[in-house]
Every structure is written in C-alpha cells, then in structure tokens.
Amino acid sequence: MSEQHVTRKRFGQHFLCDDGVIHAIVNAISPNKDQPLVEIGPGRGALTLPLLEYDVAMRLIEIDRDLVAWWNSQKQQGVNVEVYDCDVLRFDFNELGSEQEPIKLIGNLPYNISSPLFFHLINFHTIIKDMCFMVQKEVAIRLAAKPGEKPYNSLSVWLQLHYQIELLFDVPPEAFAPPPKVDSSIIRLQPHSTPPVSISDKAGFHKFIKACFAQKRKTLRNNLKKILDAEKIDAAGIDPSRRAETLSIEEFAALHNQLSHSE
C-alpha cells in the first residue's frame, strides 16, 4: 500500500507495522486455502498480504474509499480478493456464508466500532465458523471476563451465551502506525456447538441481562424491583442481595425463567 494514504481518525485507523506481531497473528488465524477469509478493515494489507501467500481467497470489507480503490486495483492485477465498499455495522453477512459453508472472520477492529460490531455479528453467529480479532485490551478482557471479575458485564454474558472466548496475546501500541494510546489484544471467538443454556426469547433475555446490570453496584433486588420481586428471585435459588456481576449464565437463565413465568 502506498505510504501516501492518509490515516483517517474518524475511522479509528491504526495500521499494523510490526512484522513479528503480524506473523503471530497469521499463525493464530491458521489460514487454509479451502476456507475463504472475511477481513474487516484490511487497511493497507498488513494481514491481508501475508495471508494471500497461503493461497487463500480473501473477502474484504472496507469503508475508506481510497483503500477500496486501491484494493480494486490489486484485484484487477490478479490478487485473489473480493472488495465490499460498505459500513460493516450494516453489512449482511448472509451474502458471504451459510450454515453449510460458515465463514471465518478476522480483522484489526477500529476501537470505536468493536462493541457495536459484536452485537451486530450475533445476528449471524449460526453462519460463523470462528472469529480472530484484534481489539482494545480492555474490551478483550471484558468479553472474556468470568462471574465475580470486575470487568464482567452484560456484554460478557451476551457474547458468552453464543461464543467460547479465548484471549490469545497482547499487542503493544508501538506495533502500529500511528500508535494508539492503549494496548491491544488478539481474541478468538468460536460459536458453541451446544449453547451453555437454552433461551427461547433471546431478545427478551438480552433486555433482562441489561436490566440486571442497570446499576452495577446495586443488588438484584434493587435493579429488578420493577419487574421481579425478591421472593421470585429467591425462588430461582438466587440470593436477592447478590450483584449481577456474580451470576453465571445459567443463573441469569434461571432468573429469566422466573420472569417469564410471572408475566
């Protein structure tokens, strides 16, 4: 990619430039020529170009029109890429995969879209084989957090309902140009073959989790008082004086069942 490309702050662009880190990420992705890769925000190709050396087909989702134009010029020169000029938060991933042919997602995610993107991708989790992303370290820790850990929140619960989440390794700011002000982490998300709990009303469950965490320092009794009284919380086998951050996914499901029965 030409060094003349101007980094756009509004897209949260920080381009990888450390060969050692790039090699480690490529190894974590484990490219296979029989499994096309979908890359979100390929940028200047720091990951794309090394991955193409494995004879893997790449599908690139990019919002920066200058970069889109450059990738299209590469395609015309025979590079094995398909380029989608769009906002990934509005992209329909059903265009790229199915339950029979699930997709593998990768990318160095802009920090300003990582959380909304994870919520968007939930809509397509049945057609995703796995995801390997670079995100802000704080976000990675939150996604993988366990009950009782401070970062554990509604996003942790919601994503862990759908995915097994693994923190792989950290990436320092100096691995990027320009360097961000925070550390980054590589994280892998793989859909559960069997979900930890069975939820029939997922939209209602998501809304319920958010209510449980509405004010993190308050107890379940206080956060849920308008929708579930202390007696029903206790009937689910859960102490109403506990905080949401201490509950497992199974306990959230038990509480939600109490709510469903009382409506």
Q: What is the CATH number of the domain that holds 231?
A: 1.10.8.100
Kindly state whether residues 206 and 185 are assigned to the same domain: no
- In a domain? residue 2: no
Kindly state whether residues 48 and 134 are assigned to the same domain: yes
| Domain closes at, from 133, 157, 191 | 191
pLDDT in tens, 143-155: 999 999 999 999 9
Q: Which domain holds residue 157?
A: 9-191
Could you give the CA distance from residue 23 to residue 50 in angstroms, rounded to a whole number?
8
Could you give the CA distance from residue 132 to residue 167 in angstroms, rounded to a whole number?
10
Kindly state whether residues 182 and 132 are assigned to the same domain: yes
Specify the pLDDT at position 263. Answer: 60
Kindly state whether residues 185 and 223 are assigned to the same domain: no
pLDDT in tens, 147-204: 999 999 999 999 999 999 999 999 999 999 889 899 999 999 999 989 999 998 999 9
Kindly state whether residues 158 and 209 are assigned to the same domain: no
Kindly state whether residues 89 and 217 are assigned to the same domain: no
pLDDT in tens, 16-41: 999 999 999 999 999 999 999 999 99
Kindly state whether residues 116 and 209 are assigned to the same domain: no
pTM over 0.85? The answer is: yes
Number of domains the chain is built from: 2
- In a domain? residue 4: no
Kindly state whether residues 64 and 185 are assigned to the same domain: yes
